[in-house]
Amino acid sequence: MLVAHLDPLAASIFSLMAIASLLLAFVMLGSRWLINYLYAFAAESWVIAALSAAVAFYGNYPKLYLIAILTALFRGLFLPYLVWRIIRRLNVAREIHEILQPSSALVAGALCVVFSLTVAYRIGQSLGLAGTVAVLALTIMLSIKLIGFLMLSVRHEALSQILGLLVLENGIFLGAQILVPGMPMLIEIVILFDLLIIVVCFGLLVQYLVSHVGSTSSLSLKRLVG
């Protein structure tokens, strides 16, 4: 078990990176402009890649170096590039109808973190891991998840929803690097490719939305009710 006996330096580095990615999730939650949203997502992916490399170094999991490279390339460069292409084609620069002001969204996000901390603390105690980086990893995993759901529910642009889904996955991936660094590589690689397919499919569907529905806001999707 990596997290149980970790030297203090490694634990602080892991914590720092995990917290950095949580902050980036808040940046996404607070930004109106889609392009900032995208930059924050790319930056978060790079932080996760760095975290993979750090875990590989301190935990002696050489295969995680490969995961780190793939994460940086796929999540940090290729996926943002694909999303950027969709943004450029669509001509939508920002969220127009907000259900929640970014400031209120940030407060709601903070509540999500508090909730996640409570859950993670309980689990950590019952596992005898209280006070280790595992609790922090679990907190951040759950709170990025909740923040992702928050973004999905308060944003309406199709692109924000794609990015929201990618954030959901980022949270899981981040936690998995710290909690289960030994997870078989096959799974992680397949999930990376799977993400790629997801984004391509979304891109196609966004095109259909533009050409057949005439809008990329989910507010205009209300033909089917009841």
Partner 1 sequence: MTGTLLLILMITPAIAAGACLIFRAPRFVESVNLLASIVVFVMAIPLAILSAGGPYRLLGNYVVLDMVGAWVILCTAIVYLLASIYSVGYMRLLDEDPKLWGFYALFSGFAFTILLSAIMNNAGLYWIAIELTTLVSAFLVAFERAAESIEAAWKYIIVVSAGISLALLGTVLFYWSGSFVLGSTYDMSWDVLRDAAPKMNAALVTLAFLLVLIGYGTKVGLAPMHSWLPDAHSESPAPISAMLSGALLNGAMLGIVRFLTIADAAQVGGLARTTLVALGVVSLLIGALFIVRQNGIKRLIAYSSVEHMGVVALGFGFGGPLGVAGALYHMLNHSLNKSLMFFGAGNVMRGFGSKEIGDIRGVWARNSAHGALWLAGAAAITGAPPFGLFLSELVILRAGLEHGFGWAVYAMIVLLIVIFIGFLNHFRGMYFGLAPEAEATPLRLSNWCVAPMWLALAPLLLFGLWWPTGLWDHFLAVAHALTSAAP
Evaluate whether 224 touches 162 at the Cβ level (below 8 Å): no
Name the residue type at position 206. V
Select from 166, 136, 161 the least CA-distant residue to 151.
161
Should residue 5 be labelled a site residue for partner 1 when binding is judged by CB under 8 A?
A: no
Q: What SS3 class is residue 215?
A: coil
Q: Which region, judged by CB under 8 A, interacts with partner 1, from 26-34, 67-75, 101-109, 212-220?
A: 212-220
Per CB under 8 A, the list member of 8, 91, 103, 224 interacting with partner 1 is 224
Evaluate whether 18 touches 143 at the Cβ level (below 8 Å): no
Site string for partner 1, 112-151 (x = CB under 8 A): -------x--xx--xx-------------xx--x--xx--
End-to-end CA distance of the chain: 50
Per the DSSP assignment, residues forming a β-bridge with 217 are: 157
- Give the distance, in angstroms, between the CA of residue 144 and the centroid of all CA atoms in the same chain: 6
Site for partner 1 in 67-106 (CB under 8 A): none
Per CB under 8 A, the list member of 152, 154, 159, 163 interacting with partner 1 is 152
Site string for partner 1, 176-205 (x = CB under 8 A): x--xxxxxx--x--xx--x--xx--xx-xx
Measured CA to CA, the distance from residue 90 to residue 129 in angstroms comes to 48
Contact residues toward partner 1 (CB under 8 A) are 1-2, 119, 122-123, 126-127, 141-142, 145, 148-149, 152, 158, 161, 164-165, 168-169, 171-172, 175-176, 179-184, 187, 190-191, 194, 197-198, 201-202, 204-205, 208-209, 212-214, 218, 221, 223-224, 226
